[in-house]
Structure 1
Amino acid sequence: MLWSLVKILLFVAVVVGLTVGAGYVMETGPSVVVSVGSVELNLGPLQAVLLALAALVAIWLVFKIVSLLVAFLRFLLGDETALSRYFDRNRERRGYKALTESLMALAAGEGRQAMNQAAKAEKYLGNPTITNVITAQAAESMGDRKKAEESYKKLLKDDRARFVGIRGIMKQKLSEGDTDTALLLAEKAFALKPKHEEVQDTLLKLQAEHHDWTGARKTLGTKLRTGTLPRDVHRRRDAVLALSEAKDVLDAGKSIDAREAAIEANKLSPDLVPASIMAARGYIEKGKPRYAARVLKKTWDVTPHPELAMAFAEIEPNEDPKARLKRFGDLTKINPDHPETRMLLAELNIAAEDFPEARRALGDLPNSDPTARSLSIMAAIERGEGADDAVVRGWLTRAVTAPRGPQWVCDNCQKTEPTWQPVCSHCGGFDTLAWKELPKSELSLPTGSEMLPLIVGEKAKAPEPEMEPEAETKTEAETDVPEPHEPAPVDAVQPQATAEAAEVVEAQAEEIRK
């Protein structure tokens, strides 16, 4: 403390001396006369400045010598670390200077320079933790994965830096595609810092990819507790995980557990279409058709979807077309202006052989929002009303090149999936599939052969092999309630469709493809 005060007083004295000297030079003119006893020196301005600089250097040397003498005297008086502290201060100054330069080089993208300065800082400071972090990041910026991994492994020996080392190696394994090792490392990093948002997201993504739905739900709960996930998003994603868990349980043959898990998923997120369908089928198996209908109608109110109509048909699989049309009135009165509702109602009327009503239900949809499905339904209506083959082929021609309508599309990569999945098979995104239409530039067009059964009916095709009882029930449901991109087959409403008609449509479809 006293030594610092002496330094400050000396600095003030030097400033005062320089100020007085400058004033003296301004008063006496360009020459300076210095008298020391009987010796008198007449100096010019440049010589005076050089003499002043020499005096400053001499004073600095005196300070250094005095500091060294003080440290030596303390050592003689019993302070064994006095001399080492004196020299360590110089080493620290050099070390921190090298550390600063390494950080600046790293920020500037100069990886090699950052590594060299980090090694120099390590030499002076003897603190491998910070220098290993800088070295690892510099090696990553240069693409030297081996050097980066070696530096991260050194950090594992220090409790303070173990998380940084594990996270760094985890990212290395992810970039290499080794997701199994990355999952283990993510779990260790999560155990060290459960509030780290990046580790939470990485662990959740890896657990979903490995179908560890139970672990993923625990991670999701931690995200909610730590405030890194809104409550409404948590409910939605927890429902997705519960549904995925139900699917895995169903694949394992535990139908009761799958049913309960699906019902839980539907309660968490009633607007999740796959959860509603699985929950409804669970209620059907339990003999509760009213609960199944309630679940499906609630989801239809938010997101009309063709698979919901299929599940609604499974409630009464053996009813005739007119009875089905009447029962579906409870569903079609919800969102009556939605395109999906209008196409469903048109298909039901086609199955009931009420073609004028089917045309009224479809309305101007084939012109205002043409899709392969709506145009194919229109072709079926024309054939049912006895229109010429040329008219039917005209609608089919438009259907071949029309958009397919809503599909399961990934919000991240814009790729389509045939069925809903919790994780996108293309980009690995979790809960990114949405039921929507593709952008105009990415529309995929169906081929003509895919739409042939929609026009000529099942009777014009080759007979199918005998199916299991469950498959027969599903086929009957599909006959009355169409697949997501197929209207109801017209064989129920146009029995006279023949193989000759099939050949005409096949030839037209082949001509369109060419």
Structure 2
Amino acid sequence: MIRILIFILIVLGLGLGFAWLADRPGELSLVWQGQLIEMSLMRAASLLISLVAAVLIAIWLVRTIWLSPHTVTRYFRARKRDRGYQALSTGLIAAGAGDANQARKMTARTRGLISADQEPLIHLLEAQTFLIEGKYDDARKKFELMADDPETRELGLRGLYLEAKRLGAHEAARQYAERAAEKAPHLPWATLATLDSQSQAGQWDEALRLLDQSRTAHVLDRKDADRKKAVLLTARAMTRLDGDAKTARDDALAALRLDENLVPAALIAAKALFREDNLRKGASILEKAWKHEPHPDIARLYVRARGGDTAVDRLKRARKLESLRPNNAVAMAAVAEAALEARELLLARTKAEAAARLEPTESIFLLLADIEEADTGDEGRIRHWMAQALKSPRDPAWTADGVTSPTWLPVSPVSGRLDAFEWKAPSLQLATQVEDGHLSADQAIRSLPPVLADHPPVAHGTAPARQVVDTPVIIEAVSEPPRERPEPIKVAEARKPASVVEKPREKDGASNGEPVADPFFGRPPDDPGVREPAVGEKLPEKTSFRLF
């Protein structure tokens, strides 16, 4: 485009010049070697321009003839290079599609057309061809050669890292990732892999230093970097809590400044403050975290902040948490547990049933069973609540990669990924508990359902290895003469606590002003239990009967 504009400007300038000369005619006289040459000014300008054009054309012809061998050689060389790049592109596409024969064919053609020193992508094509052909040793050797070349160092280290991960050589993968992160800190995969390996080894200081370097190099965005740094600071605070509570407190508070929704950081900061007898600040941190996300661990630590509190004092603290987040199932469950410890059974039942209305989970029905046992001791109703717990959804837990942990962990014990644990309901199929950050194969096998553990699934279209044949069974009961039974003991009154027997339940309201709601499950239980005969009542005689 620029050349066209220049050409147009030159033509326009020549036209304007000739028009200017045509408007101003004149004669040109030249005496050269005794001869007088006279011509018009227009003719002289035309001859001068023609002479200049002829000289330029002559120079171009001479230069073209002189450089023609080099031009021809360069033409064939460029044509050969273009064919080589076309073969290289076709080979890479074939390798990505998994066509080993086409990739090998294009590799040989590319080798004949382009030198490997000229184009490093030939090494990549050969390595990918070895991988899809299953020649992993040859591919690893090719990646090692690429790692020694400064131009392809990062690509070779990436290939070696993936191969080490495939073989399960985690230590070798860590070393390759560290080399890549040292040579090229702008690579996200190297930074994240090194960060995970250092976190899995508990090297929190090195992981924090690497994270700061990657953040300076803009490898991670600000939000993701802040979250990972908060997790690392929380992990380091966990390790320092028992030995140095002050440093643990500073790390946990720094983590909360980066991510105020990180519940483990709030718990560690509160524990450190409680050990320093700073109850007010620790409670305020828990209250702030509770407003963001009501968590059972926060409620448990907040209620038991002071070791010398009575059950009534813990109930007051639980009710204060409920006032911060009303109509919340976790808050109601915390009040119900504290009320059960304080023997406020009517309040405990009311709050537990309200929590069951909002979120019917396993723990809330188990709590109702405990309340029922402390209140009435009715075996049938206790079994009823236990049955409801078995049928209810599981409670949320710290879950990562299909395993659950009783406490939060910074790194997944399965994949080694940083910040993998989430507070959510675990899967019903494979929910394995993790203790001390380790998971064994036996625990994973024992976590399978009993039917799957005892009887493995049978493939479609095949018969099972063992079949059970149902046969009718006849059971006959031998009739016995009736005999006198001693006077039965009133089990319900014997099991009932003294406070419940002596003091009848109030119908108008709870002891501390709570209104009494209608029972959530007020109907008689499905299994009312064994009925004790009345005094003087005779038992029916046993008779024979058939089941089938």
Asked if these proteins are the same fold (TM beyond 0.5), I'd say yes
Structure 2 residue corresponding to 1:136, chosen from 124, 127, 130: 127
Give the corresponding residue for 1:383.
373
Distance in 2 between residues matched to 1:365 and 1:443, nearest whole Å: 25
Q: Give the C-alpha shift of residue 332 in structure 1.
A: 2.4
Please give the secondary structure, in 2, of the residue aligned with 1:416: strand
AA at the equivalent of 2:106: Q
Q: Does 1:409 align with 2:412?
A: no
TM-score (norm 1): 0.65
The correspondence of residues 359-370 of structure 1 with structure 2, limited to 5 A, is 359-366=349-356, 369-370=359-360
Structure 2 residue corresponding to 1:125, chosen from 108, 114, 125: 114
Give the corresponding residue for 1:277.
267
* Matched residue count: 374
Distance in 2 between residues matched to 1:368 and 1:293, nearest whole Å: 27
Q: Check 1:256–1:369 CA distance in 2 against 1; reply closer, same or farther (3 A cut).
A: closer
Q: Check 1:120–1:395 CA distance in 2 against 1; reply closer, same or farther (3 A cut).
A: same
Give the corresponding residue for 1:181.
172
AA at the equivalent of 1:357: L
Q: Does 1:193 align with 2:184?
A: yes
Give the corresponding residue for 1:482.
none
Contact 2:375 2:497 (C-alpha < 8 Å) held by counterparts: no
Q: Check 1:136–1:358 CA distance in 2 against 1; reply closer, same or farther (3 A cut).
A: same
Deviations 1:377-396 (A, max 9, x none): 21222233325222222212
Q: Give the C-alpha shift of residue 340 in structure 1.
A: 1.0
Q: Check 1:494–1:376 CA distance in 2 against 1; reply closer, same or farther (3 A cut).
A: farther
Q: Does 1:420 align with 2:408?
A: yes
Please give the secondary structure, in 2, of the residue aligned with 1:435: strand
Contact 2:187 2:219 (C-alpha < 8 Å) held by counterparts: no
Q: Check 1:232–1:94 CA distance in 2 against 1; reply closer, same or farther (3 A cut).
A: closer
Give the corresponding residue for 1:236.
227
Structure 2 residue corresponding to 1:399, chosen from 382, 389, 412: 389
Q: Give the C-alpha shift of residue 282 in structure 1.
A: 0.7
Give the corresponding residue for 1:50.
none
Q: Check 1:89–1:275 CA distance in 2 against 1; reply closer, same or farther (3 A cut).
A: closer
Distance in 1 between residues matched to 2:72 and 2:147, nearest whole Å: 34
AA at the equivalent of 1:278: I
Contact 1:403 1:444 (C-alpha < 8 Å) held by counterparts: no
AA at the equivalent of 2:198: Q
Give the corresponding residue for 1:32.
none
Give the corresponding residue for 1:162.
153
The correspondence of residues 57-206 of structure 1 with structure 2, limited to 5 A, is 92=81, 95-128=84-117, 129-206=120-197
Contact 1:92 1:125 (C-alpha < 8 Å) held by counterparts: yes
Q: Give the C-alpha shift of residue 152 in structure 1.
A: 1.2
Backbone CA RMSD of aligned residues? 3.3
AA at the equivalent of 1:111: A
Deviations 1:267-305 (A, max 9, x none): 332322221111111111222111110111111112222
Contact 1:217 1:241 (C-alpha < 8 Å) held by counterparts: yes
Please give the secondary structure, in 2, of the residue aligned with 1:328: helix
Give the gaps of 5 or more residues in structure 2.
1-63, 434-495, 501-528, 530-548
Please give the secondary structure, in 2, of the residue aligned with 1:316: coil
Higher helix share: 1
AA at the equivalent of 2:408: W
Distance in 2 between residues matched to 1:384 and 1:215, nearest whole Å: 53
Structure 1 residue corresponding to 2:345, chosen from 355, 376, 385: 355
Distance in 2 between residues matched to 1:234 and 1:159, nearest whole Å: 29
Please give the secondary structure, in 2, of the residue aligned with 1:364: helix
Contact 2:195 2:210 (C-alpha < 8 Å) held by counterparts: yes
Q: Check 1:157–1:119 CA distance in 2 against 1; reply closer, same or farther (3 A cut).
A: farther
Give the corresponding residue for 1:295.
285
Structure 1 residue corresponding to 2:321, chosen from 327, 331, 339: 331
Distance in 1 between residues matched to 2:432 and 2:87, nearest whole Å: 59
Distance in 1 between residues matched to 2:87 and 2:364, nearest whole Å: 71
Q: Give the C-alpha shift of residue 369 in structure 1.
A: 2.9
Please give the secondary structure, in 1, of the residue aligned with 2:334: helix
Q: Check 1:232–1:334 CA distance in 2 against 1; reply closer, same or farther (3 A cut).
A: farther
AA at the equivalent of 1:121: T
Q: Check 1:257–1:421 CA distance in 2 against 1; reply closer, same or farther (3 A cut).
A: same
Q: Give the C-alpha shift of residue 315 in structure 1.
A: 2.4
Structure 1 residue corresponding to 2:330, chosen from 331, 340, 353: 340
Q: Give the C-alpha shift of residue 416 in structure 1.
A: 2.0
Distance in 2 between residues matched to 1:364 and 1:444, nearest whole Å: 30
Give the corresponding residue for 2:212.
221
